Amino acid sequence: MSTLLTSVILTMALLTPNLAKEKQKATEVLAIAPTEIVASDALHAPRTAFATLEEYASQAAVETGIDPVQFRLLIACESQWKEDAAGDQGTSLGLLQFKKPTFAHFIKKYPIAEANMHDSRHQIDLAATMIADGYLHHWKNCSRKIGWSSGI
């Protein structure tokens, strides 16, 4: 009986590490599977010509004739490139810290299709256009901090 018990214990001891390895492999496969699905879906997602918001901001600046370096510095000062930034007790929102009335007013002056204040690219497009037309004073604190003073 003790030989049988010893055999069972020895067999279990040998199998247990293998079971643990199999369980770990199964867990790894489960962890990888959703990533693979997301990756394959991403192939069909709409693409943008810009990898980052910084690149998008630079291009918007160039297209509107403003200094791209200063524009990126302005955004960094306003929001540290945080799309969900909220300042002035929650009344200034997004990358460029637009207030709702300001965004609404200028979006009428410079129409952007389906403009959304919470869309960082729309904020970038509108701000670049505003600054090119002399409205840099809407960002007077940060523009002064970074030394961008044209038109203030």
Q: Identify the pLDDT of residue 26.
A: 40
Q: Render pLDDT for 12-64 as a digit per residue (tens, 0 to 9).
A: 555 445 544 444 544 443 343 333 333 333 333 333 556 799 999 999 999 99
Q: What backbone torsions phi and psi does residue 88 show, to the nearest 5 degrees? A: 50, 50
Q: Are 84 and 123 in contact (CB under 8 A)?
A: no
Q: Identify the pLDDT of residue 52.
A: 95
Q: Identify the pLDDT of residue 38.
A: 37
Q: Render pLDDT for 71-118 as a digit per residue (tens, 0 to 9).
A: 999 999 999 999 999 999 999 999 999 999 999 999 999 988 889 999
pTM for this entry: 0.66
Q: Identify the pLDDT of residue 111.
A: 85
Q: Identify the pLDDT of residue 112.
A: 81
Q: Identify the pLDDT of residue 41.
A: 37
User: Long-range contacts of range 125-134, CB-CB < 8 Å, 24 or more positions apart?
Assistant: 125/60, 126/96, 126/98, 127/71, 127/74, 127/96, 127/98, 128/57, 128/60, 128/61, 128/63, 128/64, 128/66, 128/71, 129/64, 130/106, 131/64, 131/66, 131/71, 132/64, 132/65, 132/66
**Cβ contacts of 118 within 8 Å, gap of 6 or more:** 93, 94
Q: In 36-136, where do the E strands start and end?
A: 86-87, 92-93, 98-99
